[in-house]
């Protein structure tokens, strides 16, 4: 089955800095890679996703890159703000299958 590794487990940055979270996956048939943000005690919320037919996708301060050859994808947050503080999860799944495999999560702390 799919195995998703996520690093780092904790990331502490100053407000205004950039944050990068990296994930690797094992199943070469995976082609859908969502990222979720989970605030304490709340549900995970989809913030951005990428499919294997593209290498990069941006949405304002958030971007995701995908390297299918190396089987890794990354989340980039620029100009971080305290409200970006949360746990971020990457996930991978196959097309046509809706069962994602989640990474272990990254606790992002943005200091004002």
Partner 1 sequence: GAVVSQHPSRVICKSGTSVKIECRSLDFQATTMFWYRQFPKKSLMLMATSNEGSKATYEQGVEKDKFLINHASLTLSTLTVTSAHPEDSSFYICSAPLQGGGGYEQYFGPGTRLTVT
Binding positions for partner 1, rule: CB under 8 A: 31-32, 34, 41-46, 49, 51, 87, 89, 93, 95, 97-100, 102-105, 107
Nearer to partner 1, 80 or 106 (CB): 106
Please report how close the Cβ of residue 69 comes to partner 1 at its closest, in angstroms: 21
Q: Residue 51 — φ and ψ, nearest 5°?
A: -110, 160
d(CA 81, CA 2): 33
Residue with tokens 């549900």: 43
Distance of alpha carbon 59 from alpha carbon 3, whole angstroms: 27
Nearer to partner 1, 14 or 98 (CB): 98
Question: Rounded CA gap, 21 and 27, in Å?
Answer: 20
- In angstroms, what is the minimal distance from the CB of 32 to partner 1? 4
Q: Which CB sits closer to partner 1, 31 or 80?
A: 31
């Amino acid at each position: 089955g799919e195995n998703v590794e996520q690093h780092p487990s904790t990331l502490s940055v100053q407000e205004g800095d950039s944050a990068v979270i990296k994930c690797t996956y094992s199943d070469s048939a995976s082609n859908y890679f969502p990222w979720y943000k989970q605030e304490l005690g709340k549900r995970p919320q989809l913030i951005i996703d990428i499919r294997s037919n593209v290498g990069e996708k941006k949405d304002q301060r958030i971007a995701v890159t995908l390297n299918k050859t190396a089987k890794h994808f990354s989340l980039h947050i620029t100009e971080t703000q305290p409200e970006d503080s949360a746990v971020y999860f990457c996930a991978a799944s196959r097309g046509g299958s809706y069962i994602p495999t989640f990474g272990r999560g990254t606790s992002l702390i943005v200091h004002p």
